[in-house]
Amino acid sequence: MSEDFFQGYKGASLEVLKKYNVRVWGQANVNTTRGIFQGTILPRSENDDDQHIVMKIITGYNIGVDIANITEMHETGYKKANYKIPEKEFPYTEGFPKVKLIGTGGTIASRLDYRTGAVIPAFSPGELYGAVPELADICNLTTEKVFAVFSENMGPEQYKKLAIAIGKEIENGIDGIIIGHGTDTLSHTAAALTFMVQNSPVPIVLVGSQRSSDRPSSDAALNLMHAATAAGHGNIAEVMVCMFGPTSDEYGLLHRGTRVRKMHSSYRSTFRTIGDVPLASVTRKGVVPIKPEYNHRRKDRNVTILPYFEEKVAIIYYYPNMQPDMIDSLVENGYKGIIIAGTGLGHVNKPLYPAIERATAKGVHMFMCVQTLWGYAHMFVYDTGRDLMAKGVIPAMNMLPETAYIKLGWVLGQTTDPVKVREMMLKPINDEITPREPYNGYLIYQGGVKEVEEFIKKVHK
Amino acid sequence: MNNNFDPKQNYEESKQKVGYVSRKEATQETYTSIGFMSGLEVHQQLLTKEKLFCHCPAGVFQKPTVYDAEVVRHMRPTLSELGEYDGTALMEFRTRKEIIYRIKNETTCTYDVDDTPPFPINREALGIAIEISMLSKLSLVGEVHITRKQYLDGSIPAGFQRTAIIGVEGEIPLKNKKIRLIQLSIEEDSCREISDIGHTRIYRTDRLGMPLIETVTYPEMMNPDEVMEACNYIRFLNRSTNKVRTGIGAGRQDVNVSCKGGTRVEIKGVAHTKWIPELTHNECFRQWSLLQIRDILLQKIKDTAAWKMDVKELDFYALQFPCDAIKTAKNAGQKIYAVNLPNFKGILSYFTQPGKMFANEISERLKVIACIDIPNMTHSEEVNALIAGDDQGYIRKLFKACDNDAQIIFWGPEADIKTAIETIDERCRMAFTGVPQETRKSFEDGTTIFERVLPGADRMYPDTDSKPIPLEESYINELKKNIPTEVVDRYNQLKTWNVPEDTYTYIFKKNLFPLIEKIVKDLKINPVFVGTFFGHFIKFVEGHNKKGREFKFEMIYELFVYLLKNKYDLRLAKKMIPILYVHPKMDMESVLISIKFKHISKEDIVKHIPFLREKFGKIRFNDNKENETNWIMGQLQPTAIGNINMKDLKKLLESK
């Protein structure tokens, strides 16, 4: 393959570079009607226009030059940048727990991508050690890249691959597993792994970062240290999500994989346990359980791997005036299961009833969750609820809609027998349905309220 | 420690060897002989309603102790776009600082604390930056690229500042030469530091994110006065748009200085232009001293690579440390160490700045890099020894030190000792090559202290959160219409008008030229009168009265109109302004009443003259006519001012 000398340039700007014989990474003098510019020609992001050429000037800043103003261009040198985190072999310390970091992509380790101008995942144990040397004080880390996809592109194929890879690691005697993952669908994967990897003797910790590791204030390094501590030293042998507790660099929280949700588009402390309290808090000193009951770490290797998934499952998010064809179209397209996120205690409007009846008649499995996220689907309270149950919709208690979606896919990957499906859906594997909601679980901080303001001032949140 | 060695004498002798003279004694020859060279980075806040990348209000400030929340961050170095770690970044990481941000809800949002990506750039600020770039004759870029500039000191919660180049290669005129400009950038301002003690640094976030421009000159200023002149020109140019902030902290500059054979050292955050000459003067001599120190060391030490300092822990109880600082360290459970520096005798007490010696360079780095608060060390060449003479001998024996060696005794928390040892070793080795590249903090007395390692271009990274902004010709042409006349043209106009030069600084600082020009042109008032009225009189009033909130300089125009309309003498303005300045809402008539002004006709004033003449005849000592005129003028002045031109009155007296 020949080298791309004009990385990212297209159309008119590409023609200009070719005309003056100036390459990307070439040092150039550019004469324009606005003055002379000197610097290194940089690649251009694919989604940007074809009217400008990007240069890095001597002071380190980037600028763009309008090609319409260019009167002359001249290449005076060439120096390609080599973006590489210093790679160092991860040191082995006798007596430290063996932890495996499985990479899937995402911002936990990333570098600049000139194609899109955004950051792309990069992953290698040596790079990680180069960037976060503190990890060597926590555990003996090995890494494996199972695949590299963006969080939003994760799906059933990846869940299954991950479950199988985890099974192998456990069999081979690992003491803990970390999974690096983009944050957008981190909780979906956490739910999937809870169902697919059961009875694990070791911690399985999913971790990501909200600020990419290419910035000094990134949460990536601290999240990784917390995850390594939880995986290597923690006593909780469950599938967990490990992310910032507060936005401050203070402690992480471990959330049960079935009860966790991303609640802010950009905050560091975006992950919250819903309908319960978090499992534990974690610092580099260790894990401090919050919930008294959890699955303890064991010496045996008796893990059960259940890598199944039916892809024809959907969530519909109910809104007033939803038309019945929303459900009909799913049924017509061969969907086998639907999670409805209903209003209030688990409701939809009457015009949908016939569509729901038609779906039941076709053998589509339907479960009701609540949009409020907090609280249970209580379908006995109002007539609407009773009607819906009569028409075949099963209340999924306090299962989160996304968790219910993952679970239904997993269940339908194993059986389509309505009785079996119902039984499997409603029998919790790890607290996706809880028998009770603790009083202090629902604690929504609301700024502006005097008590909350006082609390925030005293405690770093 | 050698009984024959007198540190004070060594200090004075080294000062002479360096050739240090005070700024008053220095001439251009002085600066030429040591190769004085300086460049500027002038920062100026822009007058916008909102911050640069979010919708928080700009210019609302908080007190250090009044805040709604605190956020804690630690900064880690990351790779630059070209795959390098930056030197400053690594230094800051070594310091292991915990950064605390004190947040006030009304001035800080999730963007400020780096929990939300940036909003599109503030177009108001961008427009002002482009206008100033055009005034600075810079080549405007075709497309503005937001870049992240790493700051690991914590002054920005993200760990980087979003900044972008607007133009490159411009120039400003000074009296005798032109200074070229490297570039002008727009950037977000940083946090204000509240305190920095041990491993905790506290900031407030009110100023954070406010729009700022930075004008960078080439290092073409060849003496301290030129640096100040260039700085003033840039500040006046910025102010000529009327779209920049004024007041404390709204304009700050970093001053780069080097001497012949030295390196670029950046004096950060100089708040007052008038400090610049003393600071640059001293910095240039500091570098000159460091070069002499290098030469002395290289003469004594043949193989610098093999030079090795020796480190030993001391026992607080085995020695008698009489000074309080060491007692405090002992009580706090800290450790105390000594190092032996082979062949460093005479170096530690070598002159570097007025009142400072080479040992200060080490102590300041211990504070910044190892986070050990000052006093953190003493040494064998201290003018007022902090340890007893017996102890000095004991330490020398401990190391089996030679007569040519010097010793440092330092103390601090156990966890910081390793970094402290590295820091001392590093700074001593730097002495072999001369002047370390660093940024320094300035003080009013003209001295500086180490602040951090000088960052390079390696801390730049494209901002992946924002798209480039094209600057089309049509947009530029639209902005061109707002551009005021150039400062140099204004300067020349004032000169042509014969307005005295000592008024210029005030006039440009307050951007009063457009108003003066308007008064001169519209009201046909003598420019010298108007110029000095502002440059001398208003300046005086401002320094001696508290300004009423609604006072605006434009009111002076109205005042002149009023006086002309009523045919009052213009000098009445001098009596009225102090009242108007404090109570700007008063109408003109009320101001006149409050200064007890009465309208009296010329005839009524003149008719007193014969009586006064007669009275003077009785008290006079001699026949000098001038004395008589002056005395009568003095008697008539209170009632005459405003009613009759005093010059006319004098003429009248002299003619009669």
pLDDT (tens digit per residue) in B36-83: 999 999 999 999 999 999 999 999 999 999 999 999 998 887 765 555
Q: CB under 8 Å to A164, separation ≥6 — which residues?
A: A305, A307
Task: Say if residues B215 and B196 touch (Cβ distance below 8 Å).
Answer: no
For residue B414, name the pLDDT band (cuts at 50, 70, 90): very high
Task: Answer yes or no: is A290 within a domain.
Answer: yes
Which pLDDT does position A117 carry in this prediction?
45
Q: Which domain holds residue A66?
A: 3-78
Over residues B411-426, the mean pLDDT reads: 93
Which pLDDT does position B621 carry in this prediction?
75
| Res A359 pLDDT > 90 | yes
Q: CB under 8 Å to A303, separation ≥6 — which residues?
A: A166, A167, A170, A171, A197, A198, A199, A200, A201
Give yes or no: residues A57 and A128 share one domain: no
pLDDT (tens digit per residue) in B7-22: 999 999 999 999 999 9
Over residues A292-299, the mean pLDDT reads: 96
| Res A110 pLDDT > 70 | no
The DSSP bridge pattern shows strands A176-180 and A204-207 to be parallel
Chain A interface disruption, residue of B65, B113, B165, most A CBs within 10 A: B165
What residue type is assigned to position B107 of the chain? T
Task: Say if residues A220 and A135 touch (Cβ distance below 8 Å).
Answer: no
Sole residue written with tokens 């890095």: A56
Per the structure block, which two tokens stand in for B22?
A: 């005070």
Of the residues A411, A426, A441, which one is the last residue of a structural domain? A426
Q: CB under 8 Å to B236, separation ≥6 — which residues?
A: B487, B508, B509, B511
- Length of chain B in terms of residues written: 656
Considering only the beta carbons, identify the residue of A84, A267, A447 that sits closest to B83. A84
Q: How many domains does chain A have?
A: 3
| Gyration radius of chain A's alpha carbons | 26
Which pLDDT does position B1 carry in this prediction?
44
Per the structure block, which two tokens stand in for B249?
A: 């902290």
Give yes or no: residues A225 and A155 share one domain: yes
Question: In what helix (H) or strand (E) does residue A367 lie, and over which residues does it extend?
Answer: strand A365-370
Which pLDDT does position B95 carry in this prediction?
65
Which pLDDT does position A439 carry in this prediction?
83
Sole residue written with tokens 């799913």: A330
The DSSP bridge pattern shows strands B438-442 and B406-412 to be unpaired
Strand partners, B98: B200
Give yes or no: residues A322 and A385 share one domain: yes
Give yes or no: residues A294 and A334 share one domain: no
| Res B323 pLDDT > 90 | no
pLDDT (tens digit per residue) in A173-182: 999 999 988 8
Which pLDDT does position A83 carry in this prediction?
59
Give the least confident one: A155-164, B221-230, B443-452, B640-649: B640-649
Give yes or no: residues A145 and A184 share one domain: yes
Question: Which range is most confident: B149-163, B230-244, B313-327?
Answer: B230-244
For residue A155, name the pLDDT band (cuts at 50, 70, 90): very high
Over residues B308-325, the mean pLDDT reads: 87
Question: Domain containing A107 — which CATH number?
Answer: 3.40.50.1170
What residue type is assigned to position A128 of the chain? L
Task: Answer yes or no: is A86 within a domain.
Answer: no
* Residue B355 CB coordination number (10 Å): 10
Give yes or no: residues A180 and A293 share one domain: yes
For chain A, positions 211-270, list CB contacts with chain B under 8 A: 211-218, 221-222, 247-250, 264-268
Which pLDDT does position B338 carry in this prediction?
95
More confident residue, A425 or B636: A425
Which pLDDT does position A116 carry in this prediction?
44
pLDDT (tens digit per residue) in B497-550: 999 999 999 999 999 999 999 999 999 999 999 999 999 999 999 999 999 999
Which pLDDT does position B505 carry in this prediction?
92
Give the least confident one: A102-111, A305-314, B264-273: A102-111
Q: CB under 8 Å to A154, separation ≥6 — which residues?
A: A104, A181, A182, A185, A188, A189
Report d(CA A193, CA B401) in Å as an integer.
66
> Active-site residue among A40, A183, A229, A270?
A183
Question: Domain containing A382 — which CATH number?
Answer: 3.40.50.40
Chain A interface disruption, residue of B139, B166, B213, most A CBs within 10 A: B139
Task: Say if residues B508 and B229 touch (Cβ distance below 8 Å).
Answer: no
Task: Answer yes or no: is A88 within a domain.
Answer: no
Least Cα distance to B377 among B401, B403, B341, B352 occurs for: B341
Report d(CA B20, CA B391) in Å as an integer.
34
Give yes or no: residues A327 and A293 share one domain: no
pLDDT (tens digit per residue) in B632-645: 888 887 777 777 77
Give yes or no: residues A324 and A297 share one domain: no
How distant is the Cα of B581 from the closest Cα of chain A, in angstroms?
41
The alpha carbon dihedral of B235, B241, B246, B252 has a sign of: negative
User: Does A457 sit within 8 Å of B67, measured CB to CB?
Assistant: yes
Task: Answer yes or no: is A84 within a domain.
Answer: no
Give yes or no: residues A287 and A330 share one domain: no
Report d(CA A240, CA A259) in Å as an integer.
10
When the pLDDT of each residue in chain A is averaged and rounded to a whole number, the result is 90
Report d(CA B346, CA B4) in Å as an integer.
12
Give yes or no: residues A299 and A317 share one domain: no
Report d(CA B261, CA B282) in Å as an integer.
16
Of the residues A78, A110, A131, which one is the last residue of a structural domain? A78
Q: CB under 8 Å to B646, separation ≥6 — which residues?
A: B569, B571, B633, B637, B640
Of the residues A305, A336, A356, which one is the last residue of a structural domain? A305
Task: Say if residues B71 and B108 touch (Cβ distance below 8 Å).
Answer: no
When the pLDDT of each residue in chain B is averaged and rounded to a whole number, the result is 91
Considering only the beta carbons, identify the residue of A32, A83, A248 that sits closest to B83. A83
Task: Answer yes or no: is A87 within a domain.
Answer: no
Give the least confident one: A51-65, A110-124, B262-276, B410-424: A110-124
Chain B residues closer than 8 Å to A56 by CB: 81, 460
Task: Answer yes or no: is A19 within a domain.
Answer: yes
How distant is the Cα of B124 from the closest Cα of chain A, in angstroms?
20
Over residues A360-379, the mean pLDDT reads: 96
Catalytic residue flag (residue A107) = yes
Task: Answer yes or no: is A461 within a domain.
Answer: no
Give yes or no: residues A58 and A148 share one domain: no
Give yes or no: residues A60 and A137 share one domain: no
Catalytic residue flag (residue A183) = yes
For chain A, positions 334-363, list CB contacts with chain B under 8 A: none
Task: Answer yes or no: is A440 within a domain.
Answer: no
User: Does A64 sit within 8 Å of B145, measured CB to CB?
Assistant: yes
Per the structure block, which two tokens stand in for A274?
A: 């819903």
Considering only the beta carbons, identify the residue of B139, B185, B216 that sits closest to A37. B139
Report d(CA B78, CA B13) in Å as an integer.
46
What residue type is assigned to position B191 of the chain? C
Q: Can you say how many angstroms the Cα of residue B573 is from the centroid of all Cα atoms in its chain?
A: 35
pLDDT (tens digit per residue) in B75-102: 887 765 555 555 555 556 666 789 999 9
Catalytic residue flag (residue A229) = no
Percent of chain B residues topping a pLDDT of 70: 96
Per the structure block, which two tokens stand in for A171?
A: 């069999």
